[in-house]
Amino acid sequence: MSLVTKPTVVFPNHQINQKQMIDVLKDLFPYHPKWDTVERMIRNTQVENRNLLSPINQVVTHPGFEYRNKLYKDQGLKMATEVTQKILSDNKMKPKDIDLLIVVSCTGFLMPSLTSHLISDLDFRPNTKQLPVVQLGCAAGAWALNRAHEYIKAYPDHNVLLVSVEFSSLLFQPQDDKISSLISNCLFGDAVSGCIIKGIPENGDEGYLIENIDSYVKKDSDHYIKYDVKSTGFHFGLDKEVMHSIKDVAPIMEKLINGYSNKNVNDLDFHIFHTGGRKILDELVSNLDLVEENVSKSRESLKNHGNIASGVILDVLNHEFNSKTRKNGDKGIMAAFGPGFTAEINHGTWIKN
C-alpha cells in the first residue's frame, strides 16, 4: 500500500475570466463564420477563471516554438523547484529522503528532463531514480500515482516525489480557428503541482492510501486526443468521440470498487475525478449513475482553474484535504482520462494516524 500525502498546487499570477477570453477571441477572429456557436460552447464549458503563465496579450501572439520552449524550461524549473521545496518542507523531509522522482508534463519538451535539473539544483541523491513522463496528457497524474504504488510494493520503505508541470497556454496557436481549438483555448489552464507518496506512513500522517489500481486503453482511439507537431510547436487536437468513451471505462471502475469493497460508486465517501471538461463530468454522472454531489469538487476545480491537465487529480485531492471532512477509514476512488483513450483508476482508504 502507498500513502498519497497532501498535494501542493501553485498557479501562475496571470488570471483571465471567461468573458475576457471571449472578448480576446472575438477580436482575434472577428469574421469567424460560426462565432455564435463558438461563444455558446465556450460559455457551456463552465470554466469561469483560469491562471496563465503569461499575460493574455502575450499568450495570443506566437514568438516561435524556440521562445515558448525556453519559457517552458525556465518557468517550469522555477515553479517545480518552488513546489518541490514546499512539499518537502510540509512533510518534514529532505531531498535525500526521496528515492524516485516522477515529473509528468505534456506542454513542453526538455532533454535532459526536469527530473535531472531538479536532482542537480536541489541536491537530491545522485542515485535518485528518474521517471519523466511526457505523452500521457491529462491521465498522467493518476498514472504516476498508480506507478508509484507499484514501485512501493517492490520497495516498501521508499518514498516517491511526483511533480506535474502543465502550461497549456504555450500551445495557443493564433492562426487556428477550428471550433475545437477555440474551445480548448478556453478550457485549459496552467499550474504546477506535486505530492509525496510514502511507503511507510508515520505517526501523524494523513492521506489517501491507494489499495487497488487498474488501467484501460481503448483501442483504435489514437485520434481522440492528440498533438500535431509542426514548426509552430504542438497543435492540440480533440475529437468529439472522446466524450462518449466514459461508457467504456465505467464498468471497469465499478468492477474495481465492487471487487474490493462490496460497495457501489455512490456508496463511497469521496470521488476524485479528472475534469476533462463539463461534458466528461456529465458523462461520468450519467454512466455511473452518480449523485451530483460526488463530482462537486471536480466541478469546482474546473470552474476556478479550468482543466490543468495532469495536475487536476492533485488539485481535486487537495480540495479533499482542505475540506477537513474526511474521516479515518473513508473509502474513495480516483480516475483520470487522457490520450489513447487512456484511463487510470485507483481505489483506496483515507487514513489519519
Active site residues: 138
Residue position matching grid coordinates 496563465: 52
Tracing cell 519538451 back to the chain, one arrives at: 109
Nearest to 87, CA basis, from 76, 66, 101, 107:
101
Is the CB of residue 158 less than 8 Å from the CB of residue 100? yes
In the chain, the N- to C-terminal Cα span, in Å, equals 15
List, in sequence order, every residue forming a beta bridge with 208; answer none if it has no partner. 4, 350
Task: Write out the three cell numbers for 117.
Answer: 535539473
Q: Are 123 and 95 in contact (CB under 8 A)?
A: yes
CA dihedral 85, 87, 88, 91 (to 10 degrees): 150
CB 203 within 8 A of CB 353: yes
Residue pair 306/274 in contact (Cβ under 8 Å)? The answer is no
Element at 348 (helix H, strand E): strand 342-352
As beta bridge partners, residue 351 has 207
Cell numbers standing for residue 313: 487529480
What does each C-alpha distance from 5 to 52, 140, 207, 209, 338 come to in angstroms?
26, 18, 5, 9, 24
Identify the DSSP state of 266: G
Residue found by looking up cell 484535504 in the block: 321
